[in-house]
Amino acid sequence: MSDARVESVVRTITTTCIENETYFGDLDSVVGDGDFGFSLARGFENVLAQWDTFDRSDTGTFLQKVAVVMSGRIGGTSGPIWGTAFLRAASQVKGTQEVRGTDVVAMLRAAIEGIKARGGADLGEKTLLDALAPMTDTIERELAAGTSPADIAKAAAATARDAAEATRPMQARRGRASYTGERSIGSLDPGAVAVAVLAERVADTW
Amino acid sequence: MSDARVESVVRTITTTCIENETYFGDLDSVVGDGDFGFSLARGFENVLAQWDTFDRSDTGTFLQKVAVVMSGRIGGTSGPIWGTAFLRAASQVKGTQEVRGTDVVAMLRAAIEGIKARGGADLGEKTLLDALAPMTDTIERELAAGTSPADIAKAAAATARDAAEATRPMQARRGRASYTGERSIGSLDPGAVAVAVLAERVADTW
Amino acid sequence: MKKFVNDPKNFVPEMLKGIALANPDTLRYVPEYNLIMRADAPRHDKVSIVQGSGSGHEPAHVMVVGKGMLDGACPGDVFAAPPMEYVLETAKLLASDKGVLLLVNNYTGDKMAFEMAAELAEAEGLLVRTLFINDDVAVKDSTWTVGRRGVAGNFFVMKAVGAASEAGASLDELVRIGEKVNSVTRTMGIALTPCTPPAKGSPLFELADDEMEVGVGIHGEPGRRRAKLVSADEIVDELLGAVVPDLPYSSGDEVALMINGLGGTPISELYLLYGLAHEKLAAQGITVGRSYVGEYCTSLDMAGASLTLVQLDDEIKDLLLAPAEIANRVF
Amino acid sequence: MKKFVNDPKNFVPEMLKGIALANPDTLRYVPEYNLIMRADAPRHDKVSIVQGSGSGHEPAHVMVVGKGMLDGACPGDVFAAPPMEYVLETAKLLASDKGVLLLVNNYTGDKMAFEMAAELAEAEGLLVRTLFINDDVAVKDSTWTVGRRGVAGNFFVMKAVGAASEAGASLDELVRIGEKVNSVTRTMGIALTPCTPPAKGSPLFELADDEMEVGVGIHGEPGRRRAKLVSADEIVDELLGAVVPDLPYSSGDEVALMINGLGGTPISELYLLYGLAHEKLAAQGITVGRSYVGEYCTSLDMAGASLTLVQLDDEIKDLLLAPAEIANRVF
Ligand SMILES: Nc1ncnc2c1ncn2[C@@H]1O[C@H](COP(=O)(O)OP(=O)(O)O)[C@@H](O)[C@H]1O
Ligand SMILES: Nc1ncnc2c1ncn2[C@@H]1O[C@H](COP(=O)(O)OP(=O)(O)O)[C@@H](O)[C@H]1O
Ligand SMILES: [Mg+2]
Ligand SMILES: [Mg+2]
Ligand SMILES: [Mg+2]
Ligand SMILES: [Mg+2]
């Protein structure tokens, strides 16, 4: 059986990405090519459509299926980036039924490494990594401090939001936005904002 | 040896066509594509350039060489039309050294048949045939009447000129000019005018 | 003008030189007559096959010289028939004991130059036959009013007589085969854009952004009508509607189907057209036995395509299947 | 937009269907994954070779499937990397006991999709290797900043590994050969006009009547510079000036020379360029051992051309000479 809380979080990510198609697309239109909202929405629509069919023998298997379905049919950067994140997270809980706090941190760290490997990006290059990495640090810290899961989720969301805002002065070095060079300075990174929005919704629906 | 008078007539045709490049071209610009003067001038320039090298063992051979050199390098209609005319004329005097009046008529008749065969045209289709055929009739008639060669040449020139003028009301059915359909009515046929101009020069230089 | 060209006067010779340099072992270039010929021609155990026409239709005909197709091609300048002397000297250079077959696309200029050259070649004792190709159903009369035009279907005539001559067929036999293939071959084309001759430097005609020329000639001659640009489906219907009833091709027939690009249309679009035509023919009970998709007879950089059908029998099929090695190649 | 197309959304599948219909005996079309594959694949006596990329570059890669080249090609939509699932399912369908070699033109989208698919395929127990092609000297960084782009030189990698795999080479051996060919291959292109993607319906960029884009990418990416259109001679000098010193190719070298059309340029102009390049290389002491003139990797209907050099040795030459039978053919 896959972990119910993980399933619920994935479900929240799924519906949130579909609902925010226009908003995420608009963010990517400022200095990117405007396809970010479209790509995520199509990917997660496929997840939603096949939701009941996923193999749920364990959490890793469940997440792996999500990864393949989410990224399988969409082109561009976000398919492989998000698919790899889910895939690497899955590998941390292969065979695991119930996921604990330390597993969550390991999953996020693996996802971050996967994204870096797949897309060649590093921190400070104005990507979703710039929200994901600080958010993971917060979760790890709060876990160690014994904070309750619901409060950890709130703290994670707050960090992700601040981190997303902090991408404004950065210059994009990856993806289509990087073509605009210095013009990318002054706007928010769509990927980082998406991470913040998703973290907030996860916290809200805990 | 080739006939001296035939050589002289060919020489007159050669220089006249070169001198009239612009005039013949302008005539062809009215309803044709303007290349008639260019084609004839280039063809006869080659004749002039190789004048001294032609095989002169008999008149037929001489005319055949003229035909090949005149028509060999020029594209379009006039190369094959004029080349065929010279070639078929040549065939009438193969092995002949001295050309008589009856030979001239036979040569012109053969040339006319050759042009018809090569280009598919008939009388009344606004081509050089409409000057060449009446001119040949005149020569034949005057020959039978015992007229002197010089006077025959004059009569031939007069007929050719009248016949060229008579192409004005005709509609072009052959060559590029035929594309313009009824618009070709009212202008002179360049080929017929050229025949008239050449006949006049031959008569003048008899 | 958006072309790779030096002095436009040298467009044809510079192209021919490129062909020769790219095929040093198999082809020879004779600049005096714009002649591309097989390096091993004439071979007296086979009839020599020669085709000429204006340039601007490449790969026809200079790039289909080689084993199993032409022994020589002597094109004129862009869209201009070859001068008679080119044809005559080519016939002489390729004179084989078995004879020379001259293939001619049916246009006045070409017809007259080749017929005159044949007359002179015969006078010099050569064994020469001339065969006219006139597969274009678009208009009864070509630009120069000598009947239907010869267009992309010439590929099939060249391929068939090329294969047969390689197998040792006599000149009479080749004329029979060539006439037979020509008699069962029909083509019609559509232009989406005009073409630009290098020496002219500007388009040969105008076509509005939403227009096409139905039945266009390969020198930009007007076709049956100018019409609004429609979908690929409707275009294939129009082409088949003109070509199929003309022979006619009927249910039960096996055909070769060619979608020929006119120069500026990418092969992706040609395959799209091919797929539509193949299925529409199948729906009429006509089976495609051999398929040809690509550029065979172009009109410089014209965007457009033509559709050709050949009614197949065992003899024609075998000749089309026979191997050939020509300049126009992938590897 | 002057194109043969129905609903632009169906442009790629309709083209693929045409390819399959034209080659019923040798190819199979799997619509779910835009896959054109050899009808006899996978064969367990050879490594399966797969290439994918965006569509719009035909004949690359869907028309080079066949004996001696690719076992399968799974393109994405026009100018869009194939979705990861296409690659993964293609790898599974073509899984051979000897392994699967994935060839990838070096662009971020393609790279990520293929790497992820390879990771998943390996997780499912397949033997998979991935090989990147990056022959374009025009710009250091491709559109998506992953280093040099892969362009027309991919033909030589596909041909070499295709021939070697046909001869039974192991997956490791193929990786060695492919990397070697890629490492001695360099390309640069020039655009005279932009291209028009069917779904967009308008040109991808603007280029004035007297301008050219030097070093253009096959998706219309900007190159090194925009310049006034010059003569074919000067263009060849510019291309050779960029390509030759890059490896460098030196006096005494034997090379393969490819003049590749970008889609809208007629083959006459390509042969003209070929002749100039061949002679200029000879003047530098570089001998052309193999020549390739035509369309190998296009950018839809873009007028333009690219020049590729491959440094030859006996091994590469033999592989290039080996026979192959692909959809892109004349006969
Ligand atoms: N190479 C990369 N590595 C990590 N994240 C990336 C990379 N490229 C883009 N991104 C993230 O993806 C977002 C844009 O996604 P999307 O619009 O789908 O990609 P593209 O840039 O290809 O259009 C960016 O805001 C950024 O957060
Ligand atoms: N088929 C033909 N038969 C006989 N004469 C012709 C034919 N076509 C054209 N002519 C003659 O040639 C002249 C035009 O010559 P030219 O300009 O060289 O030919 P084109 O019409 O091909 O441009 C016409 O004025 C006419 O006299
Ligand atoms: Mg984007
Ligand atoms: Mg994008
Ligand atoms: Mg004229
Ligand atoms: Mg003319």
Q: What is the pLDDT of residues C277-298, one digit of tens each?
A: 999 999 999 999 999 999 999 9
Name the residue of B127, B168, B187 whose CB sits within 8 Å of the most ligand 2 atoms, as the mutation to test its pocket.
Answer: B127
Q: How far apart are CA B110 and CA B130, in angstroms?
A: 15
Task: Lay out the sheet containing C185-191: strands in order across.
Answer: C225-228, C211-214, C185-191, C304-311, C254-261, C287-294
Within a 10 A sphere around the Cβ of B199, how many other Cβ atoms?
28
Q: How far apart are CA D238 and CA C242, in angstroms?
A: 47
Q: Whose CA is nearest to atom 1 of ligand 2?
A: B119
Q: How far apart are CA D202 and CA C51, in angstroms?
A: 40
pLDDT band of A114, cuts 50, 70, 90: very high
Q: What is the mean pLDDT of each run of 10 residues along chain C (331 residues)?
A: 95 98 98 98 97 96 98 95 95 98 94 94 95 93 71 98 98 98 98 95 93 94 92 98 98 98 98 98 98 98 98 98 96 95
Please indicate whether, in this complex, the C-beta atoms of A79 and D113 are within 8 angstroms of each other: yes
Q: How far apart are CA B128 and CA B116, in angstroms?
A: 11
DSSP string, C38-89: ETT---TTS-EEEEE--BSSTTTTGGGBEETSBSEE---SBTSPPPHHHHHH
Please indicate whether, in this complex, the C-beta atoms of B174 and C145 are within 8 angstroms of each other: yes
Neighbours of chain A (3+ CB pairs under 8 A): D
Q: How far apart are CA B105 and CA B99, in angstroms?
A: 10
pLDDT recorded at residue A104: 98
pLDDT recorded at residue C228: 97
pLDDT recorded at residue A177: 78
Is residue A186 over pLDDT 90?
Answer: yes
D18 neighbourhood in chain C, CB within 8 Å: 270-276, 278, 293
Q: Which residues, by Cβ under 5 Å, contact ligand 4, an ion? A: A 33, 35, 76, 176
Mean pLDDT, chain D, integer: 96
> Which 3 state secondary structure label does DSSP give B46?
helix
> Which 3 state secondary structure label does DSSP give A193?
helix
Q: How far apart are CA A152 and CA D219, in angstroms?
A: 46
**Angle between the A21-31 and A190-204 helix axes, to the nearest 10 degrees?**
160
Can you say how many angstroms the Cα of residue B87 is from the centroid of all Cα atoms in its chain?
12
Query: If you measure from the C-alpha of residue A177 to the centroid of ligand 3, how many angstroms do you get, rounded to a whole number?
Result: 7
C-beta separation of C79 from B41 below 8 A: no
Both tokens of D243, joined, read 């390509």
Task: Lay out the sheet containing D48-52: strands in order across.
Answer: D27-30, D35-38, D72-73, D48-52, D100-105, D128-133
Q: How far apart are CA D155 and CA B13, in angstroms?
A: 60
Both tokens of C89, joined, read 């000297």
Q: Whose CA is nearest to atom 5 of ligand 2?
A: B127
Give the nearest ligand 1 atom to A40 CA.
18
Write the CA distances from C63 to C27, C36, C40, C66, D267, integer angstroms.
Answer: 10, 8, 16, 8, 10
Domain boundaries, chain B: 3-204
A75 neighbourhood in chain D, CB within 8 Å: 76-77, 80-83, 109, 113
For the stretch B146-197, pLDDT in tens is 999 999 999 999 999 999 999 999 998 887 777 777 888 999 999 999 999 9
pLDDT recorded at residue C145: 61
ipTM score assigned to the predicted complex: 0.89
The DSSP bridge partners found for residue D30 are D35
pLDDT recorded at residue C223: 87
What phi and psi, each to the nearest 5 degrees, are found at residue B7? -60, -40
pLDDT recorded at residue A103: 97
Within a 10 A sphere around the Cβ of D213, how many other Cβ atoms?
25
- Which residues of C are designated catalytic? 57, 219
Phi-psi map region of B175: left, alpha, beta (phi>0 left; psi -120 to 50 alpha): left
Q: How far apart are CA D314 and CA A174, in angstroms?
A: 41
Smallest CA–CA distance, residue B177 to chain C, in Å, is 10
pLDDT band of D141, cuts 50, 70, 90: low
Whether the model clears a pTM of 0.90, i.e. scores above it, the answer is yes
Smallest CA–CA distance, residue C110 to chain B, in Å, is 8
Interface A–D counts its CB contacts (< 8 A) at 60
For the stretch D68-89, pLDDT in tens is 999 999 999 999 999 999 999 9
Query: If you measure from the C-alpha of residue C262 to the centroid of ligand 2, how many angstroms do you get, rounded to a whole number?
Result: 29
C-beta separation of B98 from B122 below 8 A: no
Bond into D42 cis (ω within 30): yes
Q: Which residues of chain B have pLDDT under 50?
A: none
Phi-psi map region of C142: left, alpha, beta (phi>0 left; psi -120 to 50 alpha): beta
Which stretches does DSSP call E strand in D252-303?
A: 254-261, 287-294
Please indicate whether, in this complex, the C-beta atoms of D80 and A72 are within 8 angstroms of each other: no
Bond into D13 cis (ω within 30): no
The CATH class for the domain spanning A3-204 reads: mainly alpha
Mean pLDDT, chain C, integer: 96
Write the CA distances from A119 to A129, C53, D111, integer angstroms.
Answer: 11, 56, 9
3-state secondary structure C62-75: HHHEEECCECEECC
Closest residue of chain C to D57, computed from CA coordinates: C268
Q: How far apart are CA B172 and CA D60, in angstroms?
A: 52
> Which 3 state secondary structure label does DSSP give C292?
strand
Q: What is the DSSP letter of D68?
A: T
- Which helix (H) or strand (E) segment holds residue C226: the answer is strand C225-228
Q: What is the CA radius of gyration of chain D?
A: 19
pLDDT recorded at residue C185: 98
For the stretch D54-71, pLDDT in tens is 999 999 999 999 999 999
Q: Identify from B64, B66, B68 which residue to disrupt to test chain C contact, counting C C-beta atoms within 10 A and taking the largest count.
A: B68
Please indicate whether, in this complex, the C-beta atoms of C83 and B79 are within 8 angstroms of each other: yes
The DSSP bridge partners found for residue C193 are none
Neighbours of chain D (3+ CB pairs under 8 A): A, C
Please indicate whether, in this complex, the C-beta atoms of A119 and D108 are within 8 angstroms of each other: yes
pLDDT recorded at residue C142: 54
Please indicate whether, in this complex, the C-beta atoms of B76 and C83 are within 8 angstroms of each other: no
Give residue ranges with CB within 6 A of ligand 2: B 28, 32-33, 35-36, 39, 76-78, 81, 115, 119-121, 127-129, 174-177, 189-192
Chains D and B touch (3+ CB pairs under 8 A): no
Mean pLDDT, chain A, integer: 94
Please indicate whether, in this complex, the C-beta atoms of C109 and B76 are within 8 angstroms of each other: yes
Ligand located closest to A116 CA: 1
- Which residues of D are designated catalytic? 57, 219
Smallest CA–CA distance, residue D272 to chain A, in Å, is 36
Q: What sign has the CA pseudo-torsion B28, B33, B34, B36?
A: negative
C-beta separation of C126 from C171 below 8 A: no
DSSP string, B56-113: -SSHHHHHHHHHHHHHHS--TTHHHHHHHHHHHHHHHTTT-SS--HHHHHHHHHHHHH
Q: Whose CA is nearest to atom 13 of ligand 1?
A: A191
Please indicate whether, in this complex, the C-beta atoms of C274 and D21 are within 8 angstroms of each other: yes
Phi-psi map region of C139: left, alpha, beta (phi>0 left; psi -120 to 50 alpha): beta
Q: Whose CA is nearest to atom 6 of ligand 2?
A: B127
Query: If you measure from the C-alpha of residue B130 to the centroid of ligand 2, how many angstroms do you get, rounded to a whole number?
Result: 12
What phi and psi, each to the nearest 5 degrees, are found at residue C206? -110, 145
Q: Average of pLDDT values for D229-234?
A: 98
C-beta separation of C189 from C264 below 8 A: no
Q: Average of pLDDT values for D15-29?
A: 98
Both tokens of B8, joined, read 């002289």
Smallest CA–CA distance, residue C323 to chain D, in Å, is 8
Chains C and B touch (3+ CB pairs under 8 A): yes
Q: How far apart are CA C70 and CA C62, in angstroms?
A: 9
Give residue ranges with CB within 6 A of ligand 1: A 28, 32-33, 35-36, 39, 76-78, 81, 115, 119-121, 127-129, 174-177, 189-192
What phi and psi, each to the nearest 5 degrees, are found at residue D115? -65, -40
Both tokens of A162, joined, read 């601040």
According to DSSP, the β-strands at D27-30 and D35-38 are antiparallel
Q: Whose CA is nearest to atom 2 of ligand 2?
A: B119
Q: How far apart are CA C86 and CA C68, in angstroms?
A: 23
For the stretch A5-62, pLDDT in tens is 999 999 999 999 999 999 999 999 888 888 899 999 999 999 999 999 999 999 999 9
Query: If you measure from the C-alpha of residue A193 to the centroid of ligand 3, how many angstroms do you get, rounded to a whole number?
Result: 13
